[in-house]
Amino acid sequence: MRPRIVQADGQIGFYWATPTGEPASLPELMLTDDEPERLLATHLEALDDAMIIAAAQFGEILGGGRQPDPAERDDLLTLHRTLDILCRQYALGAELSSSVPNLRAGKIIGTAALLSIKAREPLGLLGQAPLDDRLDPPPQGVVSGFGQLQLVDQDKPWMGGRWVLKTEAGQRHPLTLSMMMFDSSGVNKNAARQEHRDLLRTCIDAAGADVDPFTLACALDWLLYDWLMAHRADPDSAEIEIPKGSEADAIMIVDATAASMRTRARFDPGLTGALIGRP
């Protein structure tokens, strides 16, 4: 007998069980399994299936169509923690088996990360976006200016940053990577993507450093969210697309998702458990 996935009716997400039925985490099972990479692939497929179920159940809320009722708030809390832990388990499993995340892994983990962020939003569990209190209100209509990725603190790049539209009059308006890619002219899109990657990687690397976890979590979540929103299959979808030849982006998404969860676990005890979905 082999380890198996357990997902009962009405259960949010899934958990692993040993051949004897004892709950276990993916990394724990991979340490003793003869085919650890097979478990890793099964984990991804189960995560993909779990997201389809979650999207059907919570799609209206995750899409911003309405606010959750009290019972749904509890479910959203479970959903985001479940997705976060399952993504972290995948990253640990990939590290244990020296497996490099491929495009499909990046798509699934990226979609899970986006759903987790969307689940946290109506619960008030997302920190302030970088520079929110320093920017001018979003303008109406077409505005000319220059888009730039501005850091919160030049001396502390791990605090992150965001895209800003700077006008000739000196005003600074909030901008997104998606707007840079699809709603702006004269943009060097490849350079913009690379600049975004570099800053996100700086924040990922800071996850193991002695820095303020809340500030770092806000930086990671915003930069990851901004990247994911700019790389969806279509504007009405949460499914992430990664073009062929962009394997490095898949790795970045997996690393950023794991770094965010690991950082938030320093102040959210609900993310410290190794197992989820226990009956």
Residues of the chain with pLDDT under 70: 273-279
Distances (CA, A) of 209 to 128, 216, 262: 21, 10, 12
Instruction: Identify the pLDDT of residue 264.
Output: 97
Closest of 12, 19, 188, 179 to residue 85, by C-alpha: 12
Report field, pTM of the whole predicted structure over 0.85: yes
Instruction: Identify the pLDDT of residue 274.
Output: 54
Instruction: Identify the pLDDT of residue 276.
Output: 45
Question: Is residue 264 a contact partner of residue 213, using CB atoms and an 8 Å limit?
Answer: yes
Residue 31, number of CB atoms within 10 A of its CB: 12
Domain ranges for the chain, please list them.
4-127, 132-237
Q: What is the DSSP string of 20-36?
A: TS-EE-HHHHHHH-S-H
Instruction: Identify the pLDDT of residue 240.
Output: 96
Structure-token pair, residue 214: 């809340």
Instruction: Identify the pLDDT of residue 144.
Output: 84
Closest of 6, 32, 15, 25 to residue 97, by C-alpha: 32
pLDDT per position as a tens digit, 87-137: 999 999 999 999 999 999 999 999 999 999 999 999 999 988 999 989 998
Residue 118, number of CB atoms within 10 A of its CB: 22
Question: Is residue 37 a contact partner of residue 99, using CB atoms and an 8 Å limit?
Answer: yes
Query: What are phi and psi for residue 4, nearest 5 degrees?
Result: -140, 160
Give the amino acid at 78: T
Helix (H, G, I), strand (E, B) or coil at 72: helix
Instruction: Identify the pLDDT of residue 236.
Output: 86
